[in-house]
Amino acid sequence: MNRSARRRLTAVALTVVAVTTSATACSSGGSGSANEAADSGTYTVWDPYPQFDKGSAWAKLLDDCGTEAGVKIKRTAFDTSDLTNKALLAAQQDNSADVLIVDNPVVSTLAEAGLLTTTDENKLDTSKADPNLLAAGQTDGKTYGTPIGANTLALYYNKEVLKKAGVDIASVTDWKSLTAALEKVKKAGKKGITFSAIGTEEGSFQFLPWFWGSGAQLTDLDSTGAVSALSLWSDWLKKGYAPNSVINNTQTTSWQEFASGDYAFSENGTWQLANAEKAGFDYGVIPVPAASGGSAAAPTGGEFVTIPVQGEADRYATSQKLVSCLTSGQNLLDTDTTLSYVAPTGEVQDKQVAADAKLKPWVEAVKAARGRTSDDLGTKYPKISEQMWKAVQSALSGAQSPKDALTAAQSAVK
């Protein structure tokens, strides 16, 4: 690593903001330097899945891909937020993992730090990946890695609650009709909608479909559309259509509220499908509606498989074989089923829907989703996101009007 790259890496490491979606609850994983035991026959893989132990299907897949490539795999799992810092530190020490699997918004941070190779350099084939998903790993016209799977947000609804309130779900097509449905639900003695507006990336993640659904752009936080989106949430709290608890809700606690059976709607993700089956009531899923109708773009969650820069360039060929194996059609189908992810390719998505028809609305939502760092926002996104969730918190708590909160947010970003 040359001096300018090292200086750039150090600067990014000192200011890095770990961005996580918290799609799944993860505990802290193992630790240790990437190549401390590596030789020509051992390749290191770091991933954010500490919930999967050595006997899991995921660990077995890694070993199988290693066998196929003729090498042994040394795997280390970290908590999602910890993995970014560990990867930056390892790169400073010229000791990066051979294969690194990271949350998609982190890719631009690591790329700017000079830590990742491009797909032109490592010869990864990304031609089958959906362009909107691949965009989360692109910056300045270059692609860094390939998505292993994706998740996103939609609205779960309780069929019985809506039936008792006299709401036909087919009538919910935009913000006006959704708000009208919430009003009917409240009058029927039930609760409206729950979501996560906590002051972290989870809060921004959940606000983005409404923000984008208004026509707003992340480069203009205080636009008319943005204000209308935050006003929508704020008005729901004032009218009792959403509980005050959303201010502190994570996506997990928000789901727990919906699982009580009292709420008509819950904004949540693909990762709750297994819990939805256990909820004890009939549910359905619709896309988050845009302000004037149609589906709003929701943010993509999920990880990218990347190949970090190595001092020994001859390692890349084997690393490429490992990544190609992990993201092959059959392995994507198996892995994404385990992770409750929608596959990043149309071919595998079709197989997922054929196996489970309940995945159809999620596949449609993923196809319409947007990467948080897309539009060449790259490392600007974390700062924008922080100001966004602060504005949401300020408005929902009543400390500021939606307009004033977002004006302050835009000023802070500038």
Shortest CA distance to 210 belongs to which of 178, 248, 168, 162?
178
Residue 209 CB coordination number (10 Å)? 29
List Cα–Cα distances, 31 to 52, 79, 316, in angstroms. 15, 10, 23
Look up tokens 């970003």; give the residue.
413
What class, spelled out in words, does domain 153-298+378-413 have in CATH?
alpha beta
What class, spelled out in words, does domain 3-150+302-368 have in CATH?
alpha beta
C-alpha span between 102 and 191 (Å, rounded): 37
| Sequence-distant (≥ 6) Cβ neighbours of residue 335 within 8 angstroms | 58, 61, 148, 149, 326, 341
* Model pTM above 0.85: no
pLDDT in tens, the chain (414 residues): 444 444 444 444 444 443 444 443 333 333 344 444 444 699 999 999 998 999 999 999 999 999 999 999 999 999 887 898 999 999 999 999 999 999 999 999 999 999 999 999 999 999 999 999 999 999 989 999 999 999 999 999 999 999 999 999 999 999 999 999 999 999 999 999 999 999 999 999 999 999 999 999 999 999 999 999 999 999 999 999 999 999 999 999 999 999 999 999 999 999 899 899 999 999 999 999 999 999 999 999 999 999 999 998 999 999 999 999 999 999 999 888 878 899 999 999 999 999 999 899 999 999 999 999 987 888 899 899 999 999 999 999 999 999 999 999 999 998
What are 359's two structure tokens? 């995945």
Domain assignments of the chain as residue spans, ordered by start: 3-150+302-368, 153-298+378-413
Give the amino acid at 392.
V
C-alpha span between 303 and 336 (Å, rounded): 11
Q: Is 89 exposed, middle or buried (0-12, 13-18, 19+ CB in 10 A)?
A: middle
C-alpha span between 171 and 159 (Å, rounded): 14
Within this chain, domains 3-150+302-368 and 153-298+378-413 share the same CATH topology: yes
What are 208's two structure tokens? 């983005």
Give the amino acid at 223.
S
